[in-house]
Structure 1
Amino acid sequence: MQEKVDKAPSQETTGSAVPQTGARDYPAPPFPKQHLKKPGSEMALDPAPMFDAPYYVGSKKLDGKVALISGGDSGIGRAVAVLFAREGANVAIIHLDEAADAEITKEMVEKEGGRCLIIAGDVRKAVFCRRAVDKTIKAFGSLEVLVNNAAFQLHTTEFEKLTDEHFDETIKTNLYGYFFLSQAAAAHMKPGSAIVNTGSVTGIMGSKNLLDYSMTKGGIHAFTRALAGNLIARGIRVNAVAPGPVWTPLNPADKEAEDVARFGADTKMKRPAQPEEIAPAYVFLASSHCSSYITGEILPIIGGY
């Protein structure tokens, strides 16, 4: 397998000016100008996000575990679901209304040898979050890993135009959802379990056009550290991954087409990450084989900002 990685095309050999440090050639701006209808379908995105990580070899890091992933239908959530299955886990994924994307994720998880449960619903509602956890445990018998990943963002260039409704949806999706799912899951988790939250570079550095989103992501980082302290006595670890720009439906369903074409160009990598480049960090933090002494940490993967 390493031989295959060594022989993978590099951007030096393909003529791209973008520094290539990955196992295969990743797309870089300019991208086709496009704007997706929210919440955004992965099937409509051009180029298609790269999530299958063909050079990643599983080694039973999550063998026999059960994971619940919010926002697992596309983007980072889909890539995480695939790698979790490759590491031996059964996976339940939560989506809002992207049923076709969720079915593709399920197919990919099953291709890896895992079982996959699709749960449709709104993480802003505590009752739904409790039901999602109950459904996961009923289907698979336990719950060892929770990945809080579902998110809402909407760019606003003028502070005064950020409406109450917009602010409320961001806060409830990005903070209430994480809190409700974590509370429901922790009640059933045993020592050795893990919660992995999706933070963001915006929670570290801020973003002038994503004031509310940046605030929630900073809140997720603080929540991660606080919850880690609360749950460590029960043997449950809590950490977060803080990605920079990632090629998923989230941004093309928010940004203007002109901005989507340049997405990720301002990183030192001169491109956004692909979901498959972020997902191994979730495996690392979810697996006690890799991170048994790590809790309350925020792992930035930001392309050299």
Structure 2
Amino acid sequence: MEIGILRSSFKEYGSRRLLEEASKVGKGVKLDPRHLCLILGNKLDGHSIYEKDLARFDVVIPRFRTKYFDFGLLATQHLENMRIPVLNSAVSIKTCKNKYLTSLTLQKKRIPQPLSAVALGTNDIMRVIKHLPKPLVFKTIQGSEGFGISKINNDGDAKDWAQTFAGFHAPIYIQEFIDHGGEDYRILIVGDKIAAAIKRISKNKNWKTNISQGNVAVPFKPSNELKELAFKCTDAVKTDICGVDIAVDQEKGPMVIELNQFAGFKGTEKATKKNIAREIIRLAVKKARQ
């Protein structure tokens, strides 16, 4: 069995671990989107990837970087067209990568989340925030790991950030700030089960809790309410693998903050002592072409 990991750089912990676990059940193969050539036609169906033949793969796990997102998404869709199973699908990757698409999808399922908006120009952004309670959080629409995120306390902060984003012709995803007291939860779902769950605790009561920002993770046993909420999210976006980030508002209760289709799990494996990479590879084997 050949399991492809669609990734340009394997310095990232999760991708390295997946290759390690894949090699224990078959052959883990690096599938670099930078060297991928997709061809459409009556007979040329895109099997050529320079030195590798796409048709050889039994299953592929996309984990491409934001830098190569557009082409990685095309490659994922192409693999699906070739009837090669992928974890996750191109549609679910696209939905989870775009924060506002995620919000729209969750809204359809009546899943609790902070108030949110998206706007492009400075004047439009300033007009939008008049309708939202402060403080707010400004995010890049496709950011990750806590980067490109700012807490906005007043109109002056908002205008400064709006002008910065407008200069890049980039939309701002605006989200109501949830006062979680410096801690939130990551529930990592693989297939139809919870592979692990952690509580993320910020250092020095910083409002950001991302592990990539140097914060702390501890094992966590989610309540039935949080389990149900997490599974509702993955059902809504149709993911095979997904990290569901939940914060608890003192008045409104649990709120879904973000979904992560390429969830990193270095901190989660370390905190929980669970072999998450093995669980992902087991799911890949289960879904592979027979």
**TM-score of Structure 1 vs Structure 2, range by shorter chain:** 0.3 to 0.5
Which structure has the larger Rg? 2
Higher strand share: 2
Q: TM-score, normalised by structure 1?
A: 0.33
TM-score of the two chains, using structure 2 as the length reference: 0.35
